[in-house]
Structure 1
Amino acid sequence: MKPRVLTGITTTGTPHLGNYVGAIRPTVRASRDARFDSFLFLADLHALVKCDEPERVRRSRLQIAASWLAAGLDPAKVTLYRQSDIPEIPELTWILGCVTAKGLMNRAHAYKAAVDRNSASGEDPDAGISMGLYSYPVLMAADILLFNAQFVPVGRDQIQHVEMARDIAQRFNRVFGSGDGPFVLPQAQVEEHVATLPGLDGRKMSKSYDNTIALFEGGAKKLHASIRRIVTDSRVPGEPKDAENSQLYAIYRAFAEPDDAAAFKDELEKGLGWGPAKERLYALVDGELAPMRERYDALVAHPEQVEEVLLAGARKAREIAVPFMEGLRRSVGLRL
């Protein structure tokens, strides 16, 4: 059996250029590697921890699925599914929760950060903290362990969740298994060189900072308008620019071939004006995105096509989940 790689995407926002460069593009490329069995899921159950706006979750789910498909993800070569279509995930979450120490959850970074914020503001330490936030790592462990994923690509801030999944798997294996099964111990695949794009204001591109450039939503017109809003310094045309510290150049470099990026940098340092530079950036980015945008618009206009892909992926995923879950039920005494 080929090593299994699992990636989840939380459905709470509209995909932007930072998501594309840092996650969508490299994951689509990696999914074409025939040495691995790729699983990708829309983490809509996780979204409920952060978002209480049903329409936002529904819309984000469609936008994200359509973005991945438009960017070239081939559902025939990967297993693409919606988390909420796999009933074995919440069932396994409960079972795993019964072997998970509360002290382990107390150490989760997200929970500790929320407690620290409350304490700093004089609130009760657990004010506003839901059980969804508190037990989030158990749900993530179920996502991973149900499919015995060997590798989970994550940034450094997510390593702890994979380590917790390992801890929970080891505990279950000792109590109910053979010591080295039924769960495979997952490994965090740390992406050291994930491209992080700056946003319009120079900070990391993030919905939290309201500084994003939408990937497909709003079309070419919105992309053009957003690029024109990138903050630059006051240096006039003809005056050398500091390319290395310019978010405009950083975005250009993420889309250009190395020789093209070097030439663009040289032009900036020789005085290329910010206005023409933004037009060059727009032409470069739109040149890559325009064919994908056409596919994206077609999918969003026909959500039933996206639904068909996701349901087919769920059936494929459940061919693994259903028999594995039946074995787990027997392991804990819920079946003969």
Structure 2
Amino acid sequence: MTNTASKTRVLTGITTTGTPHLGNYVGAIRPAIQASLDPNVQSYYFMADLHALIKSQDPARVQQSRLEIAATWLALGLNTDNAIFYRQSDVIETTELMWLLSCVCDKGRMNRAHAYKAAVADNQAEGQDDDKGVTMGLFGYPVLMAADILLFNAHKVPVGRDQIQHIEMARDIATRFNYLFKEEFFTLPEAVVDETTDVLVGLDGRKMSKSYNNTIPLFSTEKELLKLVRKITTNSLEPGEPKDPDTCSLFEIYSAFATADETAAMRVKYLEGIGWGAAKNELFEYLNGVLSEPRARYTELMQNPAYIEQVLIRGAERARDEATPFMARLRKAVGLGRFA
């Protein structure tokens, strides 16, 4: 079994319903890669393909997305000798734990989950039944997320600000379980939010999201990347007119990738009235320089899915080395242990 007792445990994942974009990289993948290189941190990074089924019933899309996401993380340098990298669906203990947690989680708590409340609000605005189109997958999403986290007793969970509520729910569910079964089975996880990069803006100035169709795919070709950068919304200020970097999508994306000194230098250019065309060209050049090498590696990996499969199988085996005995302990705690 992997010895992780003395290490800080960090866990995160990305839902496999689309192509990874710059927002995914800044908000989740980059901190994951950094943590995977730290020998004092035990990282658990997974493709949340069970979560994907809540949003998509398109098998081809889910399958392709799983491959793209795995290739993305590996291309960006995830250290799979240290980090445990796996598909959520390969660790069957996750869904078993979800059921145990569901049986101690009150429905009222789930009623307050942001995603469910948003779905109800949309239905009400359209004069529909509150729960029209709401699946049990959507309703119970926070419990599955809690199972992801608590199965490995993660100390820290890097998330965007919009996911903080789910970490709080995981803490509440863990506390309830520990209380009912009179043992500290679960560590209470902490959300880790990078205040400077937790939500990256997209082409239209809103949060970069597949649902808004405003993303910049992480490994677009040079031609595609330039085209998308040029589509980023700006105001009508002319070259030579001072511009506010703090309200500019271009500057926010640039600063999420650049160093502090580079960001400060770009801020000066804004105040001096850099033209939007020049600002977009600088952003493109910077992004292309950062992403060109991993883009080439990504292309190689996408042409070798057998290698990716081997990496994921090995990761699932390591994950289950920990999850299997822990679930046996939890089964016994709730009265489902073996007789002999």
TM-score between both structures, scaled by the size of structure 1: 0.91
Select the residue among 215, 219, 222 that pairs with 1:220. Answer: 222
Is 1:88–2:96 an aligned residue pair?
A: no
Q: Which residue of 1 aligns with 2:130?
A: 125
Distance 1:108 1:253 in 2: 32
Distance 1:313 1:324 in 2: 17
Q: Which residue of 2 aligns with 1:286?
A: 288
Is 1:327–2:329 an aligned residue pair?
A: yes
Q: Which residue of 2 aligns with 1:247?
A: 249
Is 1:47–2:47 an aligned residue pair?
A: no
Select the residue among 32, 37, 43 that pairs with 1:32. Answer: 37
* Cα displacement string for residues 157-210 of structure 1 (whole angstroms, at most 9, x for unaligned residues): 22222222222223322333xx23222232333443335332222222222222
Closer, same or farther in 2 for the Cα pair 1:118/1:189, shift >3 Å? Answer: same
Corresponding residue SS for 2:214: coil
Does the 8 Å CA contact 1:42/1:82 hold for their aligned counterparts? yes
Letter of the structure 1 residue corresponding to residue 79 of structure 2: D
Is 1:210–2:213 an aligned residue pair?
A: yes
Structure 1 residues not aligned, in runs of 5+: none
Does the 8 Å CA contact 1:82/1:310 hold for their aligned counterparts? yes
Letter of the structure 2 residue corresponding to residue 135 of structure 1: G
Select the residue among 165, 181, 196 that pairs with 2:199. Answer: 196
Does the 8 Å CA contact 1:153/1:189 hold for their aligned counterparts? yes
Distance 2:93 2:239 in 1: 61
1:298 positional shift: 0.7
Select the residue among 249, 261, 283 that pairs with 1:259. Answer: 261
Does the 8 Å CA contact 2:142/2:169 hold for their aligned counterparts? yes
Letter of the structure 2 residue corresponding to residue 203 of structure 1: R
Distance 1:195 1:102 in 2: 29
1:150 positional shift: 2.1
Is 1:187–2:190 an aligned residue pair?
A: yes
Does the 8 Å CA contact 1:13/1:60 hold for their aligned counterparts? yes
Aligned length in residues: 333
Does the 8 Å CA contact 1:195/1:254 hold for their aligned counterparts? no
Distance 2:213 2:62 in 1: 18
Closer, same or farther in 2 for the Cα pair 1:204/1:170, shift >3 Å? Answer: closer
Identity %: 58
Closer, same or farther in 2 for the Cα pair 1:92/1:239, shift >3 Å? Answer: closer
Closer, same or farther in 2 for the Cα pair 1:29/1:243, shift >3 Å? Answer: same
Q: Which residue of 1 aligns with 2:309?
A: 307
1:286 positional shift: 0.6
1:239 positional shift: 4.5
Corresponding residue SS for 1:49: helix
Distance 2:192 2:239 in 1: 45
Distance 2:312 2:123 in 1: 39
Does the 8 Å CA contact 1:166/1:186 hold for their aligned counterparts? yes
Corresponding residue SS for 1:81: strand
Distance 2:170 2:27 in 1: 24
1:238 positional shift: 4.3
User: How large is the RMSD of aligned CA atoms in angstroms?
Assistant: 2.0
* Cα displacement string for residues 244-294 of structure 1 (whole angstroms, at most 9, x for unaligned residues): 433222222222233333333333443443333322221111111000001
Distance 1:197 1:166 in 2: 27
Select the residue among 75, 82, 105 that pairs with 2:80. Answer: 75
Distance 1:212 1:11 in 2: 15
Structure 2 residues not aligned, in runs of 5+: none
Letter of the structure 2 residue corresponding to residue 213 of structure 1: I
Closer, same or farther in 2 for the Cα pair 1:322/1:208, shift >3 Å? Answer: same
Corresponding residue SS for 2:85: strand
Distance 2:291 2:302 in 1: 16
Q: Which residue of 2 aligns with 1:60?
A: 65
User: Which of structure 1's runs of 4+ aligned residues deviate more than 6 A?
Assistant: none
Q: Could you tell which deviates more after superposition, 101-110 or 119-128?
A: 101-110
Letter of the structure 2 residue corresponding to residue 60 of structure 1: S
Does the 8 Å CA contact 2:12/2:28 hold for their aligned counterparts? no
Does the 8 Å CA contact 2:75/2:294 hold for their aligned counterparts? yes
TM-score between both structures, scaled by the size of structure 2: 0.90
Distance 2:23 2:253 in 1: 9
Does the 8 Å CA contact 2:8/2:40 hold for their aligned counterparts? yes
Corresponding residue SS for 2:11: strand
Closer, same or farther in 2 for the Cα pair 1:253/1:167, shift >3 Å? Answer: closer
1:237 positional shift: 4.0
Distance 1:88 1:148 in 2: 13
Distance 1:250 1:71 in 2: 22
Letter of the structure 1 residue corresponding to residue 334 of structure 2: V
Q: Which residue of 1 aligns with 2:110?
A: 105
Distance 1:124 1:183 in 2: 38
Distance 1:85 1:194 in 2: 31
